[in-house]
């Protein structure tokens, strides 16, 4: 599974990229607003830090303007993935951009039917929103399972399932179990993946026992 971080905070991106575990970045208008930075300059900066796909979302909702915005965003760097909404105009833009070799992330997916349309439009990524479905009493993980199963039936579908709206580690683990290709994760949740009380307890015991030996590895002959 590929790990993308869902943030517009360049400091967070640099820190997580230094682990070697980060495969890409996703942003959206809300995250850009939170960053307080110029959108185009920020995307360019992120693309210099991360080699993998960096999702940059269009702001318009009509086909003509979205297409122009997408074309402009794609020129920022080779690893930009233009993010478009799952609407009729958004999928038309997806088709036009993907036909010209641009990566496209189709966002705001909430049904399997929508995911089929995105794959037919040539989307590089489809972004089902697990957490938001859970919020309204639906099973977000089941949607991921259904989309993965559908895509497997059609080898000509090259779209990767990118689980979005992750709220906690269990969302990630459940998505991995059913075969999601990518997870875009808030920085806080990525750090939660490391945590387990037994790891902390075991490490503390090892450190204490080592101290009793009076030895140091680096100074040993």
CATH number, domain of 127, equals 3.20.20.70
Per-residue pLDDT of the chain (221 residues; tens, 9 = 90+): 999 999 999 999 999 999 999 999 999 999 999 999 999 999 999 999 999 999 999 999 999 999 999 999 999 999 999 999 999 999 999 999 999 999 999 999 999 999 999 999 999 999 999 999 999 999 999 999 999 999 999 999 999 999 999 999 999 999 999 999 999 999 999 999 999 999 999 999 999 999 999 999 998 77
pLDDT of residue 150: 98
Task: Give the closest residue to 6 by CA, choosing from 122, 165, 159, 146.
Answer: 165
**Is residue 87 one of the residues assigned to a domain?**
yes
Q: State the helix-helix crossing angle for 112-120 and 88-99, rounded to 10 degrees.
A: 30
Q: Which domain holds residue 188?
A: 2-195
**Is residue 72 one of the residues assigned to a domain?**
yes
**Tokens encoding 216:** 């140091």
pLDDT of residue 220: 74
Task: Give the closest residue to 31 by CA, choosing from 41, 42, 22, 17.
Answer: 42
**Is residue 204 one of the residues assigned to a domain?**
no
**Is residue 98 one of the residues assigned to a domain?**
yes
Q: What is the reported pTM?
A: 0.94
**Is residue 201 one of the residues assigned to a domain?**
no
**Is residue 156 one of the residues assigned to a domain?**
yes
pLDDT of residue 219: 85
The set of catalytic residues is 83
What residues have CB less than 8 Å from 114, skipping those under 6 apart? 86
Q: In a 10 Å sphere around its CB, with 0-12 CB exposed, 13-18 middle and 19+ buried, how is residue 217 labelled?
A: exposed
Alpha-carbon span 144 to 123, nearest angstrom: 16
Task: Give the closest residue to 144 by CA, choosing from 168, 126, 123, 169.
Answer: 126
**Is residue 217 one of the residues assigned to a domain?**
no
> What is the number of structural domains in the chain?
1
Q: In a 10 Å sphere around its CB, with 0-12 CB exposed, 13-18 middle and 19+ buried, how is residue 187 labelled?
A: middle
Alpha-carbon span 75 to 60, nearest angstrom: 18
What residues have CB less than 8 Å from 3, skipping those under 6 apart? 21, 22, 23, 24, 182, 183, 185, 190
Strand partners, 99: none
pLDDT of residue 34: 93
């Amino acid at each position: 599974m590929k790990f993308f971080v869902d943030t517009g905070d360049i400091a967070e991106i640099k820190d997580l990229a230094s682990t070697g575990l980060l495969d890409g970045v996703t942003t959206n208008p809300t995250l850009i607003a939170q960053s307080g930075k110029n959108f185009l300059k920020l995307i360019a900066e992120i693309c210099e830090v991360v080699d993998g796909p960096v999702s940059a979302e269009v702001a318009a909702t009509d086909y003509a303007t979205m297409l122009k915005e997408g074309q402009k965003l794609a020129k920022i760097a080779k690893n930009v993935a233009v993010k478009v909404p799952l609407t009729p105009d958004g999928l038309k833009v997806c088709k036009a951009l993907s036909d010209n070799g641009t990566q496209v992330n189709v966002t705001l997916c909430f049904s399997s039917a929508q995911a089929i349309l995105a794959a037919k439009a040539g989307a590089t990524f489809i972004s089902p929103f697990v957490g938001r479905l859970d919020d309204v009493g639906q099973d977000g993980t089941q949607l991921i399972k259904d989309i993965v199963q559908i895509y497997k039936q059609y080898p000509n579908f090259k779209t990767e399932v990118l689980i979005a709206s992750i709220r906690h580690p269990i969302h990630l683990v459940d998505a991995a179990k059913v075969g999601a290709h990518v997870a875009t994760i808030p920085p806080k949740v990525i750090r939660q993946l490391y945590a387990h009380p037994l790891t902390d307890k075991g490490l503390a015991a090892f450190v204490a026992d080592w101290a009793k030996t009076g030895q140091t590895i680096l100074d040993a002959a």
